[in-house]
Each structure stands twice: as structure tokens, then as C-alpha cells.
Amino acid sequence: MLERAQTVRLMIFDVDGVMTDGGLYYTDSGEELKAFNALDGHGLKMLKQSGVQLAIISGRKSKLVEHRARNLGIDHLVQGAHDKRASFEALIAELGFTPEQCGFMGDDVIDLPVMRRVHFAIAVPDSPTLVRQHAHYVTGARGGHGAVREACEVIMQAQGTLDAQLAPYLA
């Protein structure tokens, strides 16, 4: 598993159920709300600082996700992706990556076409059995509760960059 994580140069994340707990929250006026985990956010920032590019491919479309991506410095955002594999193929062609240089973290069957294509597929523990069966790594933490941070740390550990990212906090 760590050998697969070593090759990741572009890490792509789904949103609902991965970066959030998967719940869809609406106000009385119909405004959508999502809860993101601060630990996940810092993990994403460290992963980016370690040299791995970040992207989001989401089947849903939300202004909240745009704001979160911008806040985290995630430059590559694809929303409303009903065919995630086609969105993935277009993204890597645009950025000049091969599937062997990519990782993807998802939680549901809509993510399987990308998970089966990338070199390092990650799922959360509350994913359906079929999704977990196609993952190279299943996090211990649930989506929206530190799973993204865990995935980021696994990649940095495999690439030998985790200690350097943590060093400023231990000085």
C-alpha cells in the first residue's frame, strides 16, 4: 500500500462523505450547509506544501465547496461531475499527469470508475462494501471526521515528507 502512495503527485478528493460526513443540511430558505473538518484542512495544506497537487471532483455543485477549495488553496475543482471518470481523464490530460501518478479518495459507487483507474484509491470505513473492496487503503476515521487528514498523512509518510511538514510545530 505504501508503495502505491509513494507515486502520488496529484491527489483528488470527493466531497460529500469524504471531506464531510455525507449529511446534506438545508436551511428553511433552501440554503445548503456543510461541515468541514479543520484537521482535514490542515492535512490538505501540508500535503500541498509537500509537493502533491490537490484536486476535487464532486458529483454535486455547491458554492460552499468553491469557498472551501479556495480557502485551502485547491486549484483544481470539478463540480457537477456526473461521469467522474470522464472528468478525471480530462483533468489529468489538462495537468499532464498519468493515472499512475494519481490518487483518489471516494466513498460511494459513483467514485468506483476513478478509484479503479488511479494507482492509489482510498475509501472511508462507512463506504459500501463494494467501494471498500476496490480501495488500496481504507481510513480508520470516517468522512468529515479526520479521514482526509489520515489519507494526507499516509501519503506524506510514504513519500518521506511527513516529518518535514510536522517539524515546524515541534521546534
- CATH, residue 99: 3.40.50.1000
How much of the chain, in percent, has pLDDT values that exceed 70? 100
Averaged pLDDT, 139-144 = 98
What does the alpha-carbon distance between residue 34 and residue 15 come to, in Å, rounded to a whole number?
10
Sheet with 120-123: list strands edge to edge. 76-78, 53-57, 10-13, 102-106, 120-123, 137-138
83 is in an annotated binding site: no
107 is in an annotated binding site: yes
Number of domains in the chain: 1
pLDDT of 159: 98
pLDDT of 2: 86
Averaged pLDDT, 70-89 = 97
Averaged pLDDT, 57-63 = 95
Q: Answer yes or no: is pLDDT of 87 > 90.
A: yes
Residue 131 in contact with residue 115, Cβ under 8 Å?
A: yes
75 is in an annotated binding site: no
Q: Answer yes or no: is pLDDT of 152 > 90.
A: yes
pLDDT of 1: 78
In which domain, by residue range, is 13 found? 2-170
